Structure 1
């Protein structure tokens, strides 16, 4: 997609997305055979459920039908949210990833996998998981040292509340 078309689409669609309480994260136009697919990725601090996605999809579709922003020819509009392993590129992405495990590629080389504890204007406070029985350690990571960052999917994470619930269950079973 040309920069001009991308900029025009963003200018056209961003206010509509914002009016729905969402952030416009990405726009992409891809050719699939003879058809084109306009993919729009939206998100918010509280997430976006299917009803919000459907509402914004209808609003975007109506607006696109009123204009020539997509030019002549058929296209398919796809509206969704970032995937589970989203790349973190904006300050708001880091804020939304608090308490999530993230893989960082560092500007000086190397990698770091850590949980984001807090985010401020200068960087992140992290918890680096311990390995081989060692305790987790705290680390400060300035934004300037981050080359790329991507949220990691965790399948076996034990939440603090889960541990508390298990302790209560053990107590009840012992009684």
Structure 2
């Protein structure tokens, strides 16, 4: 494959004015699941957005001769994954769930309120403590949905 699939998809989505939140591939790469967002859009991404991105991606993947069975494009949902520094800044003040690659103080899972980034580290208020985590050590992070 001439071009890295992730870069190809990210470039296509960014070109349409969206943001690639996450890309999941089934084990044999037959199903592509793509989660998109739009920072400027109140209420987030809707069905029309997903259809638009899906149609454009189908064309691009066909041109690149990328072979797959199914393409799914959806909004990230309430438990949106946080993947890059900008996400940790944007969602400061929200409750998050973090899973670390390497344990800290014997733990890998932390729940708390995201305080944003400081010197390239993720800051989280866990109980009475303010903890900082290396971005590279964060294996998975997602927002904890609020139900009123």
| Corresponding residue pairs, total | 139
RMSD over aligned Cα atoms? 3.2
Q: CA deviation at 1:59?
A: 1.0
**Which residue of 2 is the match for residue 139 of structure 1?**
130
Q: Which has the higher contact order (CA 8 A, sep 6+)?
A: 2
Partner residue, 1:69: 66
SS in 1 for 2:4: helix
Report the structure, 1 or 2, having the larger strand content.
2
Unpaired segments of 5 or more residues in structure 1? 130-136, 157-175
Distance 2:72 2:135 in 1: 34
Which of 34, 45, 63 is 1:40 aligned to?
34
Counterparts of residues 23-172 of structure 1 (less than 5 Å): 23-30=19-26, 36-46=30-40, 47-70=44-67, 75-105=69-99, 107-108=103-104, 109-110=106-107, 111-129=109-127, 137=128, 139-143=130-134, 147-148=138-139, 149-156=141-148
What TM-score do the two structures reach when normalised by structure 2?
A: 0.69
Q: Report Cα offsets for 1:26-64 as digits up to 9, x if no partner.
A: 3344379xxx42222223434433332222112112222
- Give the helix-richer structure, 1 or 2: 1
Q: 5+ unaligned residues in a row in structure 2: which ranges?
A: none
After superposition, give the CA deviation of every residue in 1:63-103 in whole Å (9 maximum; x if it has no partner).
223331117xxx22211132432443321231232221112
1: distance between equivalents of 2:52 and 2:136?
39
Q: What CA distance in whole angstroms lies between the structure 1 residues aligned with 2:27 and 2:133?
A: 39
